[in-house]
């Protein structure tokens, strides 16, 4: 990674940029100095269709000066704005600064609207069309990269439209998750479980909890060893939302189902992270986003099926 942060790349970009500009100026100067011999027919010598000749006339003066002005403008722009590697530009303009200014102005303009939303309960806010549209935009811009535009997630990323919650699906818990983020960690448990055969037995017992396809004999043998897993997932395998331990009885699998997938989790463990968004969103925006996310799993079944 240090290779990409070295000063070399700043110098490289600056040299390439300036070389391109001055090469254009040099080319313009060279072509302007080229003169057609007096005794020639003022053509390049290329002839098509017997009598169609390519002439060698100089560029019009106004066109030449337009090129010169463009080159001068390019140099002036590179002095004023960042464009030469790490050089910041005399005006101090940055993309981040421009984004932050626009965001601040937009948030200020929306303050009255967000103040109205802040006074509403999440349940009422989820039913408000205007709030839902704003929540949808916040979700698509920030959350959809992981959870999908339809919020149904994918392997490793939770589905937000069902009622399966690792840390709880109440408005308070959703707000907490968005604000502070989450880190879910299952340590590798193979050494604690025992032999390779023991791991396979436990995997089949886990599958039996959700009535998934499993080996009944191995499941019976794995039940005793599951006590090691019960510390987090509970003796009944229904999980523990206080620590984000998944429910193993509902046949919803975040990292893949089946014997092989569960054996892999026991052997390797897994760490998942959702970043905190307290620094990105205002408390009012988090309130609206909470209502939108809560509403995804609290709609009539007919709407969820769409």
CA distances from 54 to 39, 48, 51, 60 (A): 17, 8, 10, 17
Q: How far is CA 150 from the centre of its chain?
A: 15
- What is the pLDDT at residue 35? 67
Q: 91 lies in a domain? A: no
Q: 143 lies in a domain? A: yes
Q: 95 lies in a domain? A: no
DSSP letters for 76-100: HHHHHSS-STT---TT---HHHHHH
State whether 56 and 133 are in the same domain: no
Residue 221 sits in a domain whose CATH number is 1.10.760.10
Cβ contact 288:189 at 8 Å:
no
- What is the pLDDT at residue 60? 84
- What is the pLDDT at residue 301? 45
The whole-angstrom separation of Cα 118 and Cα 103 is 19
Pairing of strands 182-186, 270-274: antiparallel
State whether 165 and 195 are in the same domain: no
State whether 209 and 288 are in the same domain: no
State whether 209 and 269 are in the same domain: yes
Q: 248 lies in a domain? A: yes
Q: 87 lies in a domain? A: no
Given 53, 80, 107, the domain boundary residue is 80
Secondary structure E strands in the chain? 43-48, 52-55, 182-186, 270-274
The whole-angstrom separation of Cα 199 and Cα 207 is 12
The neighbour count for residue 15, using CB atoms within 10 Å, is 12
Element (H, E) at 173: helix 171-180
Q: 100 lies in a domain? A: no
Per the structure, the count of domains in the chain is 3
State whether 31 and 76 are in the same domain: yes
Q: 96 lies in a domain? A: no
State whether 220 and 173 are in the same domain: no
State whether 38 and 153 are in the same domain: no
State whether 190 and 232 are in the same domain: yes
Cβ contact 87:16 at 8 Å:
no
State whether 231 and 190 are in the same domain: yes
- What is the pLDDT at residue 288? 96
The neighbour count for residue 174, using CB atoms within 10 Å, is 23
- What is the pLDDT at residue 41? 72
Q: 292 lies in a domain? A: yes
Q: Which burial class, exposed, middle or buried, applies to 301 when counting CB atoms under 10 A from its CB (0-12, 13-18, 19+)?
A: exposed
Q: Along the 306 residues of the chain, how does pLDDT read in single tens digits?
A: 455 567 888 899 999 999 999 999 999 888 877 665 655 677 777 888 888 888 777 778 898 899 999 999 999 999 999 988 888 899 999 999 999 899 889 888 989 999 999 999 999 999 999 999 999 999 999 999 999 999 999 999 999 999 999 999 999 999 999 999 999 999 999 999 999 999 999 999 999 999 999 999 999 999 999 999 999 999 999 999 999 999 999 999 999 999 999 999 999 999 999 999 999 999 999 999 999 999 999 975 434 433
State whether 280 and 267 are in the same domain: no
- What is the pLDDT at residue 2? 53
Cβ contact 206:262 at 8 Å:
yes
- What is the pLDDT at residue 6? 74
The pair of three-digit structure tokens given for residue 6, joined into one six-digit string = 């070295």
State whether 131 and 249 are in the same domain: no
- What is the pLDDT at residue 40? 65
Range(s) of the domain holding residue 283: 124-181+275-304
The whole-angstrom separation of Cα 258 and Cα 89 is 57
- What is the pLDDT at residue 104? 87
CA distances from 263 to 206, 211, 235, 236, 300 (A): 10, 17, 19, 19, 37
State whether 268 and 194 are in the same domain: yes
């Amino acid at each position: 990674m240090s290779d990409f942060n070295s000063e070399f790349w700043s110098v490289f970009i600056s040299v390439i940029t300036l070389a391109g500009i001055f090469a254009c100026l040099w080319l313009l100067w060279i072509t302007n100095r080229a003169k057609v011999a007096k005794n020639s027919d003022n053509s390049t010598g290329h002839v098509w269709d017997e009598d169609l000749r390519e002439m060698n006339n100089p560029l019009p003066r106004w066109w030449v000066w337009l090129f010169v002005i463009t080159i001068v403008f390019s140099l002036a722009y590179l002095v004023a704005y960042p464009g030469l590697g790490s050089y910041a530009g005399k005006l101090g303009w940055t993309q981040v600064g421009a984004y932050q200014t626009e965001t601040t102005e937009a948030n200020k303009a929306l303050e009255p609207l967000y103040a109205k939303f802040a006074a509403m309960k999440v349940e009422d806010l989820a039913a408000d069309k205007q709030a839902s549209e704003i929540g949808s935009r916040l979700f698509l811009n920030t959350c959809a990269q992981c959870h999908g535009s339809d919020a149904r997630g994918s392997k490793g990323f939770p589905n937000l439209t069902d009622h399966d919650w690792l840390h709880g699906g109440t408005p308070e818990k959703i707000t907490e998750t968005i604000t502070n983020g989450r880190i879910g960690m299952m340590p590798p448990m193979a050494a604690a479980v025992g032999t390779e055969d023991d791991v396979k037995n436990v995997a089949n017992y886990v599958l039996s909890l959700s009535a998934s396809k499993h080996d009944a004999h191995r499941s019976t043998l794995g039940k005793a060893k599951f006590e090691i897993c019960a510390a987090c997932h509970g003796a009944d395998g229904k999980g523990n939302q206080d620590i984000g331990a998944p429910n193993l009885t509902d046949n919803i699998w975040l990292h893949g189902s089946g014997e092989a997938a569960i054996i892999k989790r026991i052997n390797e463990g897994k760490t998942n992270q959702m970043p905190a968004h307290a620094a990105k969103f205002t408390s009012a925006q988090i309130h609206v986003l909470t209502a939108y996310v809560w509403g995804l799993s609290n709609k009539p079944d007919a709407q969820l099926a769409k």
